[in-house]
Amino acid sequence: MGQKVLLFFACLTISGLITAVDAYGLRCGDNLVDVGDRKIDVLAKCGEPVVIDEWYEEESFRRSSVSIHVEEWTYNFGPTRFIYFLKFKNGQLVEIRTGDHGY
């Protein structure tokens, strides 16, 4: 019985941590950028990125494929913060990843 209770609380704690990380997003000053934001909103909140990489990906939909415009924006806020990589598909933020500390 004790092990089941311990396992339950461990799972509950881990799921809470995962939820907290997903909900964080990217903080730019007093603004919060999160998945679902448009490019224009991210520009207004964070300014210009250091690097913008662009490419196209083919995504299948039913029996046809569609070309999706993809951009990855890189933000470097200096050595006290991490580098952030923001991935946009057709102008909408779909992913936020962190890299090493900035420079």
Residues 15-40 pLDDT 10s: 444 433 444 699 999 999 999 999 99
What is the rounded CA–CA span in Å between residue 69 and residue 40?
A: 16
| pLDDT value for 17 | 42
What is the rounded CA–CA span in Å between residue 86 and residue 47?
A: 13
| pLDDT value for 2 | 62
CA distances from 82 to 37, 70, 75 (A): 20, 22, 9
Would you list the domain boundaries of the chain? 2-101
Q: Please give the residue that has the higher pLDDT: either 37 or 8.
A: 37
How many C-beta atoms lie closer than 10 Å to residue 27's C-beta? 14
Q: What's the mean pLDDT in 73-88?
A: 97
Q: Where are the alpha helices (DSSP H) in the chain?
A: 2-24, 39-46
pTM of the predicted model, to two decimals? Answer: 0.74
Could you tell me the two tokens for 55? 């490419």
Give the tens place of pLDDT for each residue, 46-61.
999 999 999 999 999 8
